[in-house]
C-alpha cells in the first residue's frame, strides 16, 4: 500500500512540473479562478492529492517517478487525476510493473498533466489538449465529459499551483 501511495505522489508531481507550454496554448496560463478560495487555504497539487485520501496509488507513482518536486513547483498545471479505484481497474500486476519502469511511468503520468490552469469551463470548449508528455489527449463531450477516454467525475479542485480534475480511469498514451 505504501508503494501505491508513493506512486500516486510521484505521478502528480511529474504531471504538474511539466505543465507550462500547454497552458499558454489553452489560454489559461497564470489565470486565477474568480471563485477560488483564498490562496492561504489552498495547497499545492501534491499536498491536495495526499489530503484527499483517494489518490494513494497516484501519489505513490509520482514519488516513484521522481515527480514530486515538479508537481509542487509554481506551475500552473492541470492534472487529470485517476483515483485509487481507477488504478484498480488496470490488469493485475500493471501498477507494480510500472513502479519498476520509471521511464514508462513518467510517460503515463505526464500524459495526465496539461501545462497551465485549464478549468472545466475551458475543457468543454476543447477537442483536445496537449499534455506535458507531448501528445494531445482527446476531449469528448458525448455522455458527459471524457478526456483520453476517461470520464471526468469531479472538476475544478483548485490548488495553489493549478487545478485537479478527477477521472475514473488511467489514461494510457
Name the helix (H) or strand (E) containing 110: helix 102-110
Write the pLDDT tens digit of every residue in 32-71: 444 444 445 789 999 999 999 999 999 999 999 999 999 9
Residue 157: the pLDDT is: 96
The top-level CATH class assigned to 2-167 is mainly beta
- Mean pLDDT value of segment 10-24: 35
Q: Return the domain boundaries, the chain.
A: 2-167
Asked if the model's pLDDT at residue 119 lies above 80, the reply is: yes
136 three-class SS: strand
Residue 38: the pLDDT is: 42
pTM of the model: 0.77
CA dist., res. 66 & res. 52, Å (int): 21
Backbone angles phi, psi at 111, to 5 degrees: -70, -15
- The arrangement of strands across the sheet holding 136-140 comes to 113-115, 77-82, 162-167, 150-159, 146-147, 136-140, 128-130
Write the pLDDT tens digit of every residue in 141-150: 998 999 999 9
Mean of per-residue pLDDT scores for the chain: 82
Residue 155: the pLDDT is: 96
Question: pLDDT confidence of 3, banded at 50, 70, 90?
Answer: very low
User: What secondary structure does DSSP assign to 13-25, as a single string?
Assistant: HHHHHT-HHHHHH
Amino acid at each position: 500500500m505504501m508503494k501505491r501511495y508513493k506512486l500516486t505522489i510521484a505521478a502528480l508531481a511529474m504531471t504538474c512540473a511539466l505543465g507550462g507550454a500547454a497552458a499558454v496554448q489553452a489560454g489559461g496560463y497564470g489565470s486565477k479562478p474568480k471563485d477560488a478560495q483564498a490562496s492561504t487555504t489552498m495547497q499545492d497539487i501534491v499536498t491536495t492529492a495526499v489530503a484527499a485520501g483517494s489518490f494513494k496509488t497516484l501519489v505513490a507513482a509520482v514519488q516513484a517517478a521522481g515527480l514530486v518536486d515538479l508537481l509542487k513547483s509554481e506551475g500552473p498545471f492541470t492534472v487529470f487525476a485517476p483515483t485509487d479505484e481507477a488504478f484498480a481497474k488496470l490488469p493485475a500486476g500493471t501498477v507494480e510493473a510500472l513502479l519498476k519502469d520509471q521511464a514508462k511511468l513518467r510517460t503515463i503520468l505526464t500524459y495526465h498533466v496539461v501545462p497551465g490552469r485549464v478549468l472545466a469551463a475551458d475543457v468543454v470548449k476543447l477537442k483536445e489538449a496537449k499534455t506535458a508528455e507531448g501528445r494531445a489527449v482527446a476531449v469528448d463531450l458525448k455522455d458527459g465529459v471524457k478526456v483520453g477516454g476517461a470520464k471526468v467525475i469531479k472538476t475544478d479542485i483548485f490548488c495553489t499551483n493549478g487545478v485537479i480534475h478527477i477521472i475514473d480511469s488511467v489514461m494510457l498514451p
